[in-house]
Structure 1
């Protein structure tokens, strides 16, 4: 199943109070680069990274940035596409819409939403969610879960792009997966996959965990 990944990296970092994307991780990469590279190392057909207009993109490793496309139309041989969301300040839904509209010319069989501030997500986790959707023809989506409902990363079939585009404000994909109108399947991932860097204590937990793996 050909899925286009949409990495959402246009958040305001308001709860953390500083740019979370560029926070240095123990291996020298920036925090958001971990999630982006997980997407690029997965089996996703294309990867679209949604960013703010003022983003310097310095957090993206040079080898990926130099090979990326900024065109509004797909380019042959280019797997990473940078999409600039000018309306990101109006809420999560605008970033989602920007990513979906950028994905549509690729004619994917579906899209997967991935959050840039969850650095412990790995390519194999992304693949597991994608693989859960492919054989379940009656499912509208496949979502990751920690046992407390569906959460990103979440993959949607192509016919779900309309409902996703109808979201507004700070509404995200969770509004869709919590709607009983739609059928989905859940994939259990380890708790650390869902850790984000919204606050300083949450960031410290991530850094402590990564240091413990070294």
Structure 2
């Protein structure tokens, strides 16, 4: 059964004040970096969840043509993170996916190794309900979640995401300790972006 990447890209970049996915990092856009990484991983399919009217102008044409990429416009994206997540989970269920990997469009430094290590752990320990990198004791995306948790994800509301479920301690999974904070760097503000550009030069 498939392992589906859910690429959450439906935010409105309110703290940034402009569409952060279109910001340039070198010759590429911020929004394209993590998905280009994910495309090199063992994920079988990656669905990009966006606002309903998103034309994906922030993505290179080569990515949009990838057979593994599916665009999922989310009618209810304005209701919060949970709506985008549920849109992706519903799609994954339609493929009878055994697990999903939640990816964020503003996390430029994730690696293929991170994603593949989570998938390998899931395959080796097929009773685990999640596999997640942990930094300073907190689960950080990207996060792999098994299909047994899909019903709980579909009950989330507002801006609650998968991390809230994992923090509850109810679900048992594999925690991958990680000491490199850079891997989880996300870009929410102009200051974050300027810091990214300075450190990337």
Indicate whether the TM-score tops 0.5.
yes
Choose 90-99 or 9-18, whichever is displaced more.
9-18
Corresponding residue to 1:157 among 130, 135, 146 = 146
Contact 2:53/2:73, CA 8 A, preserved across alignment: no
> 5+ residue gaps in structure 1?
68-77
Name the structure 1 match of 2:112.
123
Contact 1:128/1:187, CA 8 A, preserved across alignment: no
Deviations 1:22-69 (A, max 9, x none): 10111x1110100111111111011111011232311111112134xx
> 5+ residue gaps in structure 2?
none
Name the structure 1 match of 2:36.
37
Deviations 1:70-117 (A, max 9, x none): xxxxxxxx3110000111111000000111111222111111101110
Name the structure 2 match of 1:65.
64
Deviation at 1:188, TM superposition (A): 3.0
Whether 1:196 and 2:195 are equivalent positions in the alignment is no
Name the structure 2 match of 1:133.
122
Distance 1:46 1:198 in 2: 26
Deviations 1:132-155 (A, max 9, x none): 222223321011122231111111
Over aligned residues, Cα RMSD in angstroms? Answer: 1.4
* TM norm structure 1: 0.89
Whether 1:205 and 2:195 are equivalent positions in the alignment is yes
Contact 2:102/2:141, CA 8 A, preserved across alignment: yes
* TM norm structure 2: 0.94
Distance 2:133 2:173 in 1: 11
Q: Which runs of 4+ in 1 moved over 3 A?
A: none
